[in-house]
Amino acid sequence: MALVQISMIPSYRTAPFGPPYWAFAFTYVAAVTDVIFWLRAEDVDHSKVIAYVILALSTMGYAALAARTVKGMVQGTFLPEYPAALGPTGLRWGRPTGGRRVMKVLGSRLRP
């Protein structure tokens, strides 16, 4: 997993920041949890120190992710803009506002 993630660093640098970053972060927490359990099960030398260092690094990563999320929410860039698309009911989905999608009715009739 780590080698694949390292090979994708150039893609991460060019991708706009948004909710998908949180999805990737949860997989890292699962890996960190597995490492901590493995350290305890295998009775590795200095396992307590290693576990605290890994936990501190992951906590700093989550703090940075949370800070970047708050910054994006304040600037209005965290949630992506969705292109308008005509749905089967004749409604057009517009730009999300405050975490909600705004529907605009096209025409005077709604098709069932």
pLDDT in tens, 48-107: 999 999 999 999 999 999 999 999 888 888 887 665 555 555 555 554 444 444 344 444
The number of distinct structural domains making up the chain is: 2
Give me the pLDDT at residue 12, please: 76
Strand 85-86 to strand 103-105: parallel, antiparallel, or no bridges (unpaired)? unpaired
Specify whether 23 is located in the same domain as 65.
yes
The Cα–Cα gap between 54 and 75 comes to 32
Same domain assignment for residues 58 and 91: no
The distance from CA 74 to its chain's CA centroid, rounded to whole angstroms, is 17
Same domain as 86, residue 71: no
State whether 69 and 23 are in the same domain.
yes
My answer on whether 31 and 16 are in the same domain is: yes
pLDDT of residue 59: 94
Q: How far apart are CA 93 and CA 97, in angstroms?
A: 11
Q: Where would I find the H helices in 8-83?
A: 9-14, 20-42, 47-75
What pLDDT score does 8 carry? Answer: 81
Closest CA to 96 of 112, 70, 76: 76
- For residue 30, the enclosing domain spans 2-75
